[in-house]
Amino acid sequence: IQPAFYPMSSSCGQLGQSYEDYDCEDACPKNPSMEITGSTNADWIGAPPPLFCGPKSKFDGLGYWNPLKFCQGGSAGTEGKEASCKDQPFYYEGQTAGVHIPMSEDSQYPEWYYANPIPGSDGAMQSPRFDNLPRTEVEGCCWWGRGVIQTTGRCNFGKLNKNIGAGGGATALYPNIDFCNNPQSICDGPSDLKWIAGIFFWA
């Protein structure tokens, strides 16, 4: 039976997209060495960990996240599922289920999984996919959506940086925040920033 799965490389883009390749004149430069972990993730049991990015030398052969499998292999003396989750790669606070399945443990991912889709929870069957498959590493994949309207991609972060960030100079609204060097600033910066970043694209 094919297990449920979520690509560990969702930060790179979903449904065949590549956020790193959202290009324009003002786009942030590509930065393969950038390493970021998101500050939030879903709170349902077995949910995947926060999105993350980093160089291929550190993250490769990532595989997928199985939300239906309980954590296993807790340290000696630990009690309960939550304690054993802490020994799992990509553990996050409050995790009680879900495990990372690297490609070394499932060589059929991703090709076989996308060529042989199973019905979703609503019974709908997706068409097989043979190209634009999820990546198995997260190098350069730091441009996932953030803020109230999910600012996404190098182009949009570059425009934001040029107009209200460090790229706009001393008179910019946030002259000390470089959204190209740290796109996570939308979430981890001043509390009003996640709203202002959204208003910028509507104005």
pLDDT score at 121: 66
Rg of the chain on CA atoms, in Å: 19
Cα atoms in the Cβ-side hemisphere of radius 13 Å centred on 106: 20
Residue 69 has phi, psi (to 5 degrees) of -105, 130
Count, in order, helices (H) and strands (E) of the chain. Answer: 5, 5
Q: Angle, nearest 10°, between helix axes 193-202 and 153-164? A: 100
Say how far apart CA 62 and CA 67 lie, in whole Å.
15
pLDDT score at 72: 62
Say how far apart CA 133 and CA 111 lie, in whole Å.
7
> Which residues of the chain have a pLDDT value below 50?
1, 73-78, 80-83
